[in-house]
Amino acid sequence: MRRVDQLLANLGYCSRREARDWVEGGRVSVAGRAVSDPGSKVDETGVRIDGEPPDHPGELLLLLHKPVGLVCSHDEREGANVYSLLPERWRRRNPQVTSIGRLDKDTSGVLLLTDIAPLVHRLTSPKHKIPKVYRAALDSDLPGDAAARFASGELLLEGEKNPCAPADLRMLSPREAEVTLTEGRYHQVRRMFAAVGATVTALHRFRFGDLELGELGPGQWRELAPDHFGKF
Ligand code: URA
């Protein structure tokens, strides 16, 4: 049970103040009868808003095929963001829908979005060692010892003191590689390749844990069960 005004605001229909107008305008009902008090508590399964059940009253977990050109930040000063791909109402939800970790503006691929804050913390923690698999195109041939250096647990990124955890590097062609990471440091894949003398010219994440894009084209997303990674 939630207060009607809170429900409307949390699900992004309107502000809590505006909810009063929605209620007074008879737009919210339970069992066919208009709710008259914005403070009354309603059950999400029984309430109707403009005659419709509430839009996703439970938690959200989405798998997005992030296209290049969009950022994961909510800060509009950083440019167009991935949340612009979601229904407008979802962009006003509280708790906010946010990305689980980030992909750079120029990186494409699997990006999870959710409003389940503990899930964000759990899946971005290096403790949980979720494997993330990337394909990288490179501007030059890699040195012969690149895979050994990625796997060594000793590879240092510029400006950092702690070496990267061992990462799996598989060459697909002389200038194309697949990398599996269990960490998520800032620009990590690009910086790991920089540490062995190559520049990444394109980067795509095609797997996060057991999740892949399947048929999703760039900019498309699908819903996952909110308990896909267990309950929180
Ligand atoms: N590593 C990067 O360099 N960029 C990403 O977006 C993800 C991992």
pLDDT tens track for 13-40: 999 999 999 999 999 999 999 999 999 9
2-49 maps to which CATH number? 3.10.290
104 has catalytic annotation: yes
61-125+211-223 maps to which CATH number? 3.30.70.580
195 close to ligand 1 (CB < 6 Angstrom): no
Regions of the chain short of the pLDDT cut 70? none
- Establish whether domains 61-125+211-223 and 131-208 are of one fold: yes
Nearest to 208 by CA among 15, 3, 61: 61
Model pTM score: 0.95
CA distances from 76 to 23, 80, 122, 145 (A): 32, 7, 26, 42
What's the pLDDT at 127? Answer: 87
Atom of ligand 1 nearest to the CA of 132: 8
Long-range contacts of 157-162, Cβ-Cβ distance < 8 Å, separation of 24 or more: 157/185, 157/188, 157/191, 157/192, 157/194, 157/195, 158/191, 158/194, 158/195, 160/185
For the chain, the structural domain boundaries read 2-49, 61-125+211-223, 131-208
70, 103, 169, best to mutate for ligand 1 pocket (most atoms within 8 Å of CB):
103
104, 181, 208, best to mutate for ligand 1 pocket (most atoms within 8 Å of CB):
104
Domain 131-208 has CATH 3.30.70.1560: yes
What's the pLDDT at 85? Answer: 98
111 CA distance to ligand 1 centroid (A)? 11
